[in-house]
């Protein structure tokens, strides 16, 4: 059974390992540590017992939040982990009076785009050649945090 909680510093190596397995342009473990230390950053993890099933990293300032990373290990996809992480983000946004959530996603990541649309995100634009390894456009999306 999955549960979601805030990720603490000692759990970051697990997130960095999952990152390397999922993304073609992974963040380093050092980047995870630096990110978590930055003001206006929160990280939540979805857990199966002691195993990290997925995580989300959110930057926030004033009434806006940006989902900068959302990852779920392959064996846990389509089992509710991303949905639970997203619900936790929405709860956090409500607590902080955040009204808008933004993100960008690789144009080729159709499952993620479909997931975000299902959760109320709309397409706002495109950033040409935003991603590397491989070079690819980013789809810019946004949603109201509280509906």
Tens of pLDDT along the chain (147 residues)? Answer: 889 999 999 999 999 999 999 888 888 999 999 999 999 999 999 998 888 999 999 999 999 999 999 999 987 788 789 999 999 999 999 999 999 999 999 999 999 999 999 999 999 999 999 988 889 999 999 999 875
* Options 55, 60, 116, 131, the catalytic residue: 116
Would strands 51-61 and 122-131 be described as parallel, antiparallel, or unpaired?
A: unpaired
Compute the distance between CA of residue 90 and CA of residue 83 in angstroms, rounded to an integer. Answer: 10
* Options 19, 55, 60, 104, the catalytic residue: 104
Single out the residue of 79, 85, 106 nearest to residue 23, CA to CA.
106
Start-to-end Cα distance in the chain: 28
Q: In the annotation, is 116 catalytic? A: yes
Beta pairing partners, 55: 45, 71
Would strands 41-48 and 2-6 be described as parallel, antiparallel, or unpaired?
A: antiparallel
**What sections of the chain are H helices per DSSP?**
12-22, 29-37, 81-95, 110-118
Q: Taking a C-beta distance cutoff of 8 angstroms, is the pair 126, 140 a contact?
A: yes
Stated pTM of the model? 0.91
């Amino acid at each position: 059974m999955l549960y979601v909680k805030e990720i603490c510093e000692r759990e970051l190596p697990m997130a960095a390992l999952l990152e390397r397995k999922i993304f073609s342009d992974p963040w380093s473990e050092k980047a995870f540590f630096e990110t978590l230390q930055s003001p206006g950053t929160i990280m939540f993890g979805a857990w199966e017992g002691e195993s990290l099933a997925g995580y989300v990293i959110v930057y926030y300032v004033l009434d806006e939040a940006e989902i900068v990373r959302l990852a779920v290990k392959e064996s846990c996809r389509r089992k509710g982990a991303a949905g639970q992480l997203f619900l936790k983000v929405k709860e956090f946004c409500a607590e902080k009076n955040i009204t808008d959530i933004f993100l960008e996603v690789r144009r080729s990541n159709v499952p993620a785009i479909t997931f975000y649309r299902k959760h109320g995100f709309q397409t706002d634009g495109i950033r040409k050649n935003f991603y590397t390894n491989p070079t690819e456009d980013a789809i810019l999306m946004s949603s109201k945090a509280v509906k």
